[in-house]
Chain A
Amino acid sequence: MNTPLNAVPEPSNSQAVAPAVSETRPFYWSVRREVWENRSIYIALLAASAVYLIGYTISVFWVPRGMHGMGADESTPLIVQLAMPYAHAQMLLALTAFLVGIFYSLDALHGERRDRSILFWKSLPVSDLTTVLAKASIPLVVLPLLVFVIALALQIVMQLEGAAFRVLSGASTTAPWGPPFFEMQLVFLYSLVVMALWHAPLYMWMLLVSGWPRRATFLWAVFPPLALAVIEYIAFHTTYLATMLHSRLLGFDALAFDLVDKNGVPIDPHFIPLAQLAPARFLSSPGLWLGLLFAALCLAGAVKLRRYQGPI
């Protein structure tokens, strides 16, 4: 058996006792690692903003009708017409973030196995739980925050462009020329939180799936639920699963907002006043909590998978 050649000195104190490290530090650096690795997280949002801004600028300075809402007709209330360009910017960025979040989640545990870097990450004192939570935080926290900040910056530039146009064109400065900006931002922030919570099971399902197949994670994530929906329809002539999947994608708005006002008039989704938010109804809906429970189970499964999985 192996015995030391010489007397071995006692381990120094620095070796005997590991220096204290904050529990949140590995998490913070794990999130940074994700952002470094997946630059599409912010590049896609910046690119979408740039594209929108180019279109908006052309619309303002060369096609003045754009100032008053794209696609609005005469019957559309003025406030909605004014809100439209801003609402469209918000929607575009939210949709971009959703797509980025889905594709990010599908690659989250797969990429590090594919390029074998999982062996490097696992050589460091970061637990599987911390790593998976950091990955989960990207679609649930980081992307919504980025969307909000980038959308805010974009809308400020749009406001400035609008103001510049009015000054240059000599338009009346007393007529209303922009929507209630602050109110729109509050409602958008609320919408982003609602969407993150509502879509959490989708993201976490994708994250879980990214941990097991050797390839084609997209097919593994999408095909089984679709196949079950088709089987249900053929076998029972019902569409419960398809309805559920559809609701999981788009069903949050009917829960989180009152889409008709107190007079029974439908609310235009381009401008939803603060009074129409329904957080209590959203937070008390079983669909939200069942979805979050499913998301938690997927997250636990993803942690377990990462523990067992090595390079592909």
Chain B
Amino acid sequence: MSVIEARGLRKSFGATIALNDVNLRVDEGRILGLIGPNGAGKSTALNAILGLTEYQGELRVLGRDPWMERDQLMRDICFISDVAVLPRWIRVSQALDYVAGVHPRFDRSKAEGFLAKTDIHRASRVRELSKGMVAQLHLALVMAIDARLLVLDEPTLGLDILYRKQFYDSLLNDYFDRTRTILLTTHQVEDVQYVLTDLMFINRGRIVLDCSMEEFESRYVELTVNPAQLATARALKPIRERQALGRSVLLFDHVERQQLAALGDVRTPSISDLFVALLGDKAGTAQGVTQ
């Protein structure tokens, strides 16, 4: 069952094309990472999915048109746009009261339970909390909503590594149950490598990579090549070559791991390695680099 389905999704701001004929399908129970450089169209895509912006083309989210049915859709979707959108004046208790008041799927006791594990006081105002605590509060509010789709747009921006780890641990352990779907964007791709089930790269409004993490792991291999084997390795047409500690590191797509193992040390690349390979040096031409 698809939770999000887009065909020919387009959005432009004046002469700038933010989304260019995007097709995508996200099935239920997936955790999809939408990764792209600044200005790639990530936030525009999320805004379209959340009914926050108009678009051309066909888009259905949980079977609804998000632009026309945003408020009904929000009963089944939660989103965190970034860590700084909770109103600074609101008290923790007021935030709980308000969400409990307007959201039919909010379980207040669940949110209280999440907050009990933190140092957040009910009487505190958001402006009195640290950035990490605000993220914890927002996540507690969102996780207590029995939603079918959770959209996270840079949810851990500016947080230290401890809070980031805690954030994704909570998400996986306390929220995700394989009937829910999570769509997230982040620049801190190392944090989510082992969280995602699917990966999507977007650049200049186009999807340039769309694969499951299983496919990612079987398809891409990074080889730290023995100096004597460098010419042989290069003949296998790596998609990127870089130097690390005086040795050449080559990234391959669709080359047998066993074949590469004979030429040096192999490992699964990080998402950021692949991101740089596909979008880094030649971001302008990377649009054609798909699976």
Contact = CB atoms under 8 A, between A and B. Distances in A.
Interface of A: 1-6, 8-9, 11-12, 14-15, 18-21, 25-26, 28-30, 32-33, 36-37, 112, 115-120, 122-128, 130, 308, 310-311
Interface in B61-108: 70-72, 74-82, 84-91, 94, 97-99, 101-105
A125 B146 contact: no
A18 B178 contact: no
B170 interface: no
How many chain B residues sit at the interface, stated as a range, is: 35 or more
A260 B26 CA distance: 74
A49 to B, nearest CB: 24
28 contacts: A4-B27, A14-B146, A18-B76, A18-B104, A25-B102, A26-B102, A29-B98, A32-B97, A32-B98, A33-B94, A36-B89, A36-B94, A37-B89, A112-B87, A117-B85, A117-B87, A119-B79, A119-B81, A119-B85, A122-B50, A122-B74, A123-B78, A123-B81, A124-B99, A125-B74, A125-B102, A127-B70, A310-B52
B29 interface: yes
Contacts, number: 130
B198 to A, nearest CB: 4
A30 B102 contact: yes
A102 to B, nearest CB: 21
A245 B210 CA distance: 60
The listed residue with most A CB atoms (<10 A of its CB), out of B80, B85, B86, B198, is B85
Interface of B: 1, 25-30, 32, 47, 50, 52-54, 70-72, 74-82, 84-91, 94, 97-99, 101-105, 138, 146, 148, 178-179, 197-198, 210, 212, 214
Contact of A37 (B86, B87, B102): B87
A33 B197 CA distance: 38
Contact of A126 (B71, B87, B212): B71
B182 to A, nearest CB: 12
